[in-house]
Structure 1
């Protein structure tokens, strides 16, 4: 099901939009502040974001700038009152895809959402994230706080397996089998230990990469978020 994030502090508007889009077959998560929206993105990247221009802890383009520094192709639609439309120009310069002026007809918003999703399919499946780490499967690239990190093929495959199974422990045996042995390249157990050590160093010792003693490793969200 297509996942949409709606960052909006007005509960009534958020409820109406969510109910309408859910009836149209979308999954909608509502966040009331920029920080809540960021936490949502860190858990899972949606296929589209609706962002109110004025939020309790900042402007919509602050969130857009943060999104674009990590996930360039995620479509973003601003929702704004008419007096803010001049400021929206700055939003487009930051990379917004569209905007809708409040008050708006739900059918109009729905048509904009559909049109934008047709142009940007399968965005959420392309990205994986955990804490300050993100992975672009299409580009086969790894990022820390939005900056690309150079990793080896084995390091990339390890991180891909761990992030694909975020929240689950991946055993050392499974990592050795899927990263090395499947190609007929047998290696000893110490090879994985060294690869994990190098990966941690390149990613600035991320607290979300956990060692599960005697079993393996697990990617797990932290309680806080790097702004």
Structure 2
């Protein structure tokens, strides 16, 4: 999962990033309204952790921007203990959930996973397509009931492809989703090709169909229509 944490307290923001990174997430930080808006205009995120009180704006206004621009990211509000009105306004404005400060990082992680399952995986930790099954809790992928020997990045890549089946995904968007926004300035994305190649080989070894189509000049597509 790729997360943007919008939080003006650098101590809290860094602790969130470090914790989520240890859990295998890509977590980017924005310390203010304008910085967050710029990132949201350039990059995509699965979930946004949104503090209400920002030094150069209000988090609820940023939420309005997210909805107006139809940014397809879940939103978890980071709310002050006594800010009931902010919680209500945030939920009515389209936020998915809120967590009250101070919070424990494992609880934040649990809320993120719940939102992701609800919004992207239809409430389940299991994602299946024909002979392919992915367990997002155990990070286990099976093809024809054979457990694949894949890396975490290969699992995340396969999940990203399956969840976005029949959509063309550019090499740049795949790289940014799995490795973070710093890849935006790389000269090439040959490492994405290598991961795709390895994934295809391992699925084929388990007698799985090759659903991953190369769209020349653009990227890749999990081609479910030809299943």
Aligned to 1:202: none
Q: Tell me the TM-score normalised to structure 1 length.
A: 0.53
Specify every segment of 5 or more residues in structure 1 that has no aligned partner in the other structure, as ranges. 123-136, 141-156, 169-227
Instruction: Say how many residue pairs are matched.
Output: 136
> Could you tell me which residue of structure 2 aligns to residue 16 of structure 1?
15
Deviations 1:41-82 (A, max 9, x none): 111111100010100012111000000111254100000111
| Deviation for aligned residue 1:88 | 1.6
Across the aligned residues of Structure 1 and Structure 2, the Cα RMSD in angstroms comes to 3.0
Superposition pairs of residues 43-192 of structure 1, within 5 angstroms: 43-71=42-70, 73-121=72-120
Deviates most, 84-93 or 61-70: 84-93
Q: Residue 37 of structure 1 corresponds to which residue in structure 2?
A: 36
**Contact 2:52–2:86 (CA under 8 A) maintained in structure 1:** no
- Mind listing any 5+ residue stretches in structure 2 that lack a counterpart? 122-163, 174-183, 187-227
Runs of 4+ in 1 over 6 A off after TM superposition: none
Q: Is the 8 A contact 1:73 1:120 kept in 2?
A: no
Distance change (3 Å), C-alpha of 1:43 and 1:22: same
C-alpha distance after superposition, 1:171-218 (max 9, x if no partner): xxxxxxxxxxxxxxxxxxxxxxxxxxxxxxxxxxxxxxxxxxxxxxxx
Mapped to 2, the partners of 1:77 and 1:59 lie a distance apart of 15
Measure the CA separation in 1 of the matches of 2:69 and 2:42: 13
